[in-house]
Structure 1
């Protein structure tokens, strides 16, 4: 037992990893660059496969009773447009990443942060936490400036061209400034506490950091919908009427502890649709996007909520939360094995070993594991989606869920023609065709579901 324990010490792990890299003739930096190019190549190949599917002009036969030729063509055009831009945006991001690594951008920014700290505060490198906060701000500003052209083009060209963007430039930049202000108010104390715990807790810091992060996440889950989200969107109580009565009856039927029903003004920024619930224990709240209510019948809205409540009934959210926390604990433990690895810091141009920089570098080398975990989480999430659909089916919403899924896909110009490999790697939800096949519901007519039928009983 003692030999096994000794082999798992930080020093032993560092020495073993360093030996493996040395014997292979590569440095940490070369390893990170090699993996970055490998992932970029894989994801570009998968995106190209999907792009070719978007270029197919004819609607597949299995979609004949699902979507009209006109709506299929619109969705294909939207998907192809986004895909073409994604090739450019991804390449742009790859160039930034490679340049940051090759030209030692991190040590340059770290040294610049130190010079700012000394110039305006007279503080030296012994104030590592303060320098880390300055670095955090400088890095965030540069990242925002570099990503701004991509965000603007995506919002005001791609999304607007296909009728989704509802934002003005002033709202876009207002949201951006609000987001950064909130990020500073929350992020700076978080980073400072994170670094202080690591400095103070010794070799077993990973456990204390994990406990701190769990508490922080629980607080944020509580505060976000009631404090932060209202800064961006307006939530109003759902008016009394048939829709509210039917939702309350659905909640009562499955003992869902519903306290309040809200409508959110999602149309303020986009015409995409959604619905969700939040809250702990017996204090649940349901939020409906106004865009969902615009094109759905009462039965269809209830079907969408039945799916969401299926996640609650089968504890999917709790299970994912537990898995996420275990993953976070493992991440911090592995970081504790690399935090003092001198070879790692030196490979990226550092002569000192700042904790925040160490965590960034560790995430670089941990990336292969993270990619595998993300894929496995997609597999698990897809399983949960099928189970939630089955839950709604058992509640008697089979046909309504089918029509609501199709309407949402049509309204959002979703992907009707997915490439299976691209979808498996990138998407946490099954495609529409896969979900409809799993439901096993036959259409009541051969006519594709329309976004809004004149004889539909509307939800408002």
Structure 2
């Protein structure tokens, strides 16, 4: 292992043929992060402004103008989208101000010092018990973030979503969900954080490989236990009863050799009026989950067509491809972090006179942000490509006979969710991981013409 990764010790920061000393004292890491965050913020606000102007179009796209339900719901969907756009302007401005204030006022060192004082009060030496101090820091930072974000979260849920008929959440349920999330952070999050920090200390120069391997195994475990142990804490999950819908979905799964083991219904209506459907599971042990809101809003054949679209992702190995890419991303992230973990200039730039591992990873993620933005953009493009492929493949390519049902199902769900129909092309490409409805229907139409 040491031989394989020995080359990592020789990286000094070569960029476009120029050698950069990334550890030189006074390297303006904080200034770079702040400058980049403002450039991204201004660019995204420009895109949001373009989108906001499109939301005032008085008529739906010509390709959808003939659909009576769309014409009827269009004013409501535009009003909903405008409300969300206004909220987005406000929430993103607050987030940018918060980030800027944290950096300018050295909020991270301040919180790290508070965590140290709390540890000192329990007669632990904060310098010797870095992992415990890191856990205290995470708890304090999470609490502060929760308090800061609480007003906007409440406003979005109980004002915007409520105004447009989607919110089913009560204050009591909101509080209970919050307490459960805190419990999960304490029971799962903090132990996992402790293990990761321990592995980094134990792993030496090649810790990035061991951390990546641990995170990989942990993710697989979470994907396995989440539906049966964690999701039931928030939603009631029950088997889909024996009925026409169940029979048709099982027949569809059998026709395409999808290894369906369980069919569930989740009570999404207890929190929201939005609809969804998905599948999960490894190898020959797949489960399909339908939201009760989907069952209430669509016909049986339309639901089967939508499920068929999701199974198209399985048949075309989209899930496996995305999982593989995610692991490459994760490995790259940890490897690059290993080049910065002992970078004194990075810590000093943000006001630290020590080099705590957790803080180093947080600071590195800010430095990594430009790469992350590019990767996220490319992943959105890939996701949209997969959506087109899955829709076309299972509506037409396999001759399953659900082309028209998929169209009507997508339209019905989109209108029920008051999905936006007037999208700025730049905003859509940059932000959306799923193509807008007009693009989806146009792609299905083009495939239909090719087939026939």
TM-score (norm 2): 0.93
Give the structure 1 partner of residue 223 of structure 2: 221
Pairing 1:63–2:68 present = no
Pairing 1:400–2:405 present = yes
CA drift at 1:392 = 1.9
Q: Secondary structure at the match of 1:286?
A: strand
CA drift at 1:282 = 1.2
* Counterparts of residues 39-438 of structure 1 (less than 5 Å): 39-66=40-67, 67-394=69-396, 395-438=400-443
CA drift at 1:391 = 1.9
CA drift at 1:73 = 0.7
Quote the Cα distance in structure 2 between the aligned partners of 1:398 and 1:289.
22
Q: Secondary structure at the match of 2:347?
A: helix
Q: Secondary structure at the match of 2:261?
A: strand
Quote the Cα distance in structure 1 between the aligned partners of 2:324 and 2:40.
28
1:10–1:338 contact (8 Å) kept in structure 2: no
Quote the Cα distance in structure 1 between the aligned partners of 2:347 and 2:315.
47
Moved more, 273-282 or 348-357: 273-282
Structure 2, unaligned stretches of length 5 or more? none
Quote the Cα distance in structure 2 between the aligned partners of 1:68 and 1:367.
39
CA change 1:14–1:199 in 2 (3 A) is farther
Quote the Cα distance in structure 2 between the aligned partners of 1:137 and 1:348.
21
* TM-align CA RMSD: 2.0
1:7–1:13 contact (8 Å) kept in structure 2: no
Q: Deviations over 1:223-265 (max 9, x none)?
A: 1001000010001111111111111100000001111111110
Q: Deviations over 1:125-152 (max 9, x none)?
A: 1211111111011111111111101110
Q: Deviations over 1:180-213 (max 9, x none)?
A: 1111211101110111011111100000000000
Quote the Cα distance in structure 2 between the aligned partners of 1:26 and 1:338.
13
1:54–1:79 contact (8 Å) kept in structure 2: yes
CA change 1:397–1:342 in 2 (3 A) is same
Q: Secondary structure at the match of 1:236?
A: strand
Consecutive aligned runs of 4 or more in structure 1 exceeding 6 Å deviation: 14-17, 20-23
Q: Deviations over 1:376-410 (max 9, x none)?
A: 00011111101110122122211000001111110
Q: How many residues align?
A: 438
Q: Deviations over 1:310-365 (max 9, x none)?
A: 00111111110010001100100000001010000000000000000000000001
CA drift at 1:8 = 4.9
2:12–2:21 contact (8 Å) kept in structure 1: no
Moved more, 57-66 or 169-178: 57-66
Give the structure 2 partner of residue 456 of structure 1: none
Give the structure 2 partner of residue 9 of structure 1: 9
CA drift at 1:18 = 5.7
2:27–2:346 contact (8 Å) kept in structure 1: no
CA drift at 1:7 = 7.8
1:303–1:401 contact (8 Å) kept in structure 2: yes
Structure 1, unaligned stretches of length 5 or more? 444-460
TM-score (norm 1): 0.92
CA change 1:291–1:40 in 2 (3 A) is same
Quote the Cα distance in structure 2 between the aligned partners of 1:401 and 1:21.
56
CA drift at 1:274 = 0.5
CA change 1:372–1:135 in 2 (3 A) is same
Give the structure 1 partner of residue 444 of structure 2: 439
Quote the Cα distance in structure 1 between the aligned partners of 2:11 and 2:368.
18
Q: Secondary structure at the match of 1:262?
A: strand
